[in-house]
């Protein structure tokens, strides 16, 4: 059984509904073991006028390999309205990133694990810290991100328990 952490985000349409749908679709093939709260964050490196994101992290156990998990998460994004071709950091109904895959490292053009920018993004670190305070280092970088990035708690995890 493989343990993975996934980051989910949405800044188009019914943002909370998109996250609920993504969690429900994840549960079709993986055992979702924990859900973070939902955090609202200012869009980072997005086009001017982009709406704020709702972000969260889920932990899940599954039998897929890295590429199968990537294909599965991309199929969920597409099903929820994200086009195959899109500009980097463009607004989206659903974005799912693989943060970790057990303790494995992957460095390929279409997939890098652990996610290369997860420690730079408070919208990933804040929900990840809820789920795994002891597993990841949250040092000075985390404290400086708190000052530099707009992130606020939007909804508790139980809002998504029914998804």
Tell me the CATH number at 49: 3.30.70.560
pLDDT value of position 85: 61
Per the structure, how many domains does the chain have?
1
pLDDT value of position 77: 94
From the candidates 15, 55, 97, 121, which is the catalytic residue? Answer: 97
pLDDT value of position 30: 97
From the candidates 14, 95, 117, 121, which is the catalytic residue? Answer: 95
d(CA 78, CA 65) in angstroms, rounded, equals 20
**HSE toward the beta carbon, residue 120, CA cutoff 13 A:** 6
14 catalytically annotated: no
- Which residue range forms the structural domain that includes residue 123? 2-161
92 catalytically annotated: yes
pLDDT mean values, one per 10 residues, the chain (163 residues): 94 94 96 94 80 93 94 95 68 90 84 77 81 61 54 73 58
103 catalytically annotated: no
From the candidates 15, 55, 82, 121, which is the catalytic residue? Answer: 82
Contacts of residues 46-51 at CB distance under 8 Å and 24 or more positions apart, as own/partner, are: 46/11, 46/89, 46/90, 46/91, 47/87, 47/89, 47/90, 47/91, 50/11, 50/91, 51/11, 51/12, 51/15, 51/91
């Amino acid at each position: 059984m493989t343990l993975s952490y996934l980051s989910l985000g949405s800044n188009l349409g019914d943002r909370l509904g998109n996250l609920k749908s993504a969690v429900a679709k994840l549960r079709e093939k993986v055992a979702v073991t924990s859900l973070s709260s939902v955090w609202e964050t200012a869009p980072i490196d997005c086009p001017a006028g982009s709406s704020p994101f709702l972000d969260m992290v889920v932990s899940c156990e599954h039998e897929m390999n890295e590429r199968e998990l990537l294909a599965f998460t991309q199929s969920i994004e597409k099903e929820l309205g994200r086009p195959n071709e899109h500009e980097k950091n463009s607004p989206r109904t659903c974005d799912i990133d693989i943060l970790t895959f057990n303790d494995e490292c992957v460095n390929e053009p279409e997939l890098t694990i652990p996610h290369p920018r997860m420690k730079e993004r408070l919208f990933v670190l804040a929900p990840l810290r809820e789920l795994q305070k002891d597993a990841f280092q949250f040092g000075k970088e985390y404290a400086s991100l708190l000052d530099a990035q707009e992130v606020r708690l939007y909804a508790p995890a139980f809002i998504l328990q029914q998804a």
